[in-house]
Structure 1
């Protein structure tokens, strides 16, 4: 159930590191073209609407293509849905307030059933995001404005740090003749690691990211790439059906639970992966408990400490540990 030309791997995007560079390049080219038009005496392009109704026919242009310049928040709703009527005005108001730092795409699930099925929507409201063509699940159900801001702020941070996407606002608000800032050259050692990951050379990618971290231990991009590459290496040769069968038959089989959590995360089921390992920590002791705890902390690294789902899982982990 994959949307057209999109990864359904959620925040654990197997090509996210490579896509980050490509997305940043596309966004920079678009900004440079707008600046060139203005400098040549032409009128800047009219700002695009920050809230759009999307259909199956317009999804590619309104969501996937626009996600190269700004995070696109996708709100799945329906006319009969009471919680949707509470949430949608909040998201619309925030889209205007954030002034181009994200775009809100509204999808009526009744009128666009194929899209809803492709995204695996089972309940509404459901809110996801697309950044550089990559799917990032956000939340389900109605949330209040403060909670929505928390999710949006984290999404914007991820878009900027991992993909170099800063939104529409800065480019549209520039003074006439103002040139776009020059693109920052990509680190060649990181580029080599990204290329190895993109080729599927997981061993080479892991070593390359470790080399980067040996020189620059604080490189968040290298830490993310290493965590992703190690995760992919663990699941590459796993029989998903056999792993899930073993995990279901014996909840105390720690290795089966670790393997199943990895598969959950690669499939974009972040909360399921975290919940599985928190439960495993709670039902085990000694070395088994420590294995599950350390593995869970490693999955936190893949997602990022600022993600609200990580904070929630840390709290749950603390409860079972103490």
Structure 2
């Protein structure tokens, strides 16, 4: 029997970003240099496949420094940590490696600069996300005010409307954040803005790519963790971009093939923490069921790389 025809629009860029790649390399290199186990505080990135592979190599993932023996290396996740965490590790004389994405660290520096200038600081982000916890934890409790929605922005009452600044989580929806920023700037014209966009290049590029291919898609699939903010945003962007239905899945095993009933055109992308092999595995599963014609948008070709901590590169040399 002939297989039904399906046009698959593959979004480019997709998958790993430079910050995720750097964080994974830090864990891998630490295991190579210092042997197993290497402890990692929280998930290094939000993807169970990445975490499971690193576990197999010798990484041990923990929630708290109390679970780490003092004589083994510990790595802090790509999302960043409150200042109290490295301070605690230093007090315990632990050897630690900070895998915080440099673009998240940039937001930390901005927040500290605004605080040093005496400004009241707004953080646009999602409560409870590790990156938000880390950013708010760069400064004393209560200094950073969190705004999650446009409604929050309209209701916010500052101490001094002439002495405000905002920073943002790096993995937000570009469109949603623009709306919130617009409200804040309309209400508080003197609010200090980031020197350069806080939403990272990888988040922006992946959302732009999804917008390019989502129009008229009967179905759009995004590979990524339910915990991953940037992956969740890609689903939202696909729906806004014209996809009739969109789903977030960890891998091909989570596909409900009834989703494909009546589907002639679909889109496919992956969040910044999702390995490329998950995409290729899903495409193969689709090809087994459909006569696939695949297209790929002419998206941004990313060349960004971030250096590893000097202690790892010097030890390797």
Fold in common (TM above 0.5): no
Task: Kindly indicate which of the two structures has a greater share of residues assigned to strand.
Answer: 2
The TM-score normalised by the length of structure 1 is: 0.29
Task: Kindly indicate which of the two structures has a greater share of residues assigned to helix.
Answer: 1
The TM-score normalised by the length of structure 2 is: 0.29
